[in-house]
Amino acid sequence: MTLVRIREKMKVKERFEEQVFFTTTRITIPQTNGKGTSIGTGFLMRVPLNDGTNSTITLLISNKHVFQNPNGTISFNFNKKKPDLNPDLGNLHTFTGKDFTGIYTEHPNPEIDLACINASVITHEENNVYFTYLQPKMISDFTEDNFIPGLDVWFVGYPANRFDVSNNLPLLRKGYVSSIPKVNFNAKDQFVIDAQVYQGSSGSPVFSGINGKFKLIGVVTQTMIRHGILQTIPTLQNGLGVEQTLGLGIVLKATLLNELIDAAVAKVIAGLPNSAEPLTEEEE
């Protein structure tokens, strides 16, 4: 299992299917028109700087359309830790940021709907945050023999802004790959899943069991709808009316994350703004 917990000596036996709930967070962004809040999903990945110091940073990864305007405001939260190092469900530590351009990185290809922020501030011991994170070695390279249509997939997020409010936990959805994943759907680095993908699932990490291991195979970016004509829309929950969904979701291939990670690491190594400055912590 390549999902890593914040503490290596947890007393509770962990399963991937449960611990993955703690790698995601509900990202809220005020709409630019001032009417309501947009909802999306982000997930944590810890990556090495490869600068000879064994240093790492923790990235919060999602879609560009989830982060929207890095000059604006962002908010997300995680559960705190109990003294026994287990999650204190529903006891929140909220992080907010205004103008997070200093810690924001977009995918180097402007056509790719991926971005991240350097969220290493949440790892500070004094914040007492319970979280898990993914590692780059979990990313599928799409060369696996049994990575074929019909393969089961799971994704974690906040569909239609639905989640366990009392415990601050997302929902796990299941489906299967419905296009040939090794073939670029519509000539883009993406594939299709049949998994009842609703708005609010933007940025959800998509997993599958391949060769006996859970692999990160992609990131949800759009859902297919039928409204007069067949079309796709971003899976960001933004308070608009509900469309007739087909249950089909567009997933960006996980291999694209490698380029995003490289860009974020290069920004840190270049000595650009401190990762902790734009984020503040609030207790609830």
Write down the domain spans for the chain. Answer: 4-136+259-283, 138-254
Residue 102 main-chain phi, psi, to 5 deg: -65, -20
Convert the pLDDT of each residue in 159-199 to its tens digit.
Answer: 888 999 999 999 999 999 999 999 999 999 999 999 878 77
The tens digit of pLDDT for each residue in 64-84 reads 999 988 988 999 999 999 999
Choose from 25-34, 234-243, 273-282 the range with maximum mean pLDDT: 25-34
Q: Is the dihedral of CA 227, 232, 236, 238 positive or negative?
A: negative
The DSSP bridge partners found for residue 118 are 59
Q: In terms of CATH, what superfamily is 138-254? A: Trypsin-like serine proteases (2.40.10.10)
Residue 111 has pLDDT above 90, yes or no: yes
Residue 25, pLDDT above cutoff 70: yes
- Answer whether residue 275 shows pLDDT above 50: no
246 band by pLDDT with thresholds 50, 70 and 90 = low
pLDDT score of 273: 47
Helix, strand, coil percentages in the chain from 3-state DSSP, rounded to 5: 15, 45, 40
Name the residue with higher pLDDT: 231 or 256: 256
Helix (H, G, I), strand (E, B) or coil at 255: coil
Residues 244-268, mean pLDDT to the nearest whole number: 90
For residue 139, what is the DSSP state? B
Tens digits of per-residue pLDDT, 192-235?
A: 999 878 777 899 999 999 988 999 999 999 877 655 444 555 65
Higher pLDDT, 202 or 9: 202
Tokens representing residue 244 in the block: 């007739």
Distance of CA 21 to the CA centre of its chain: 11
With cut-offs at 50, 70 and 90, classify the pLDDT of residue 89.
very high
Determine the 3-state secondary structure of 256 from DSSP. helix
At residue 31, the pLDDT reads 74
What's the rounded mean pLDDT across residues 134-155? 95
| Helix (DSSP H) and strand (DSSP E) numbers for the chain | 3, 17
pLDDT at 277 over 50: no
The whole-model pTM stands at: 0.85
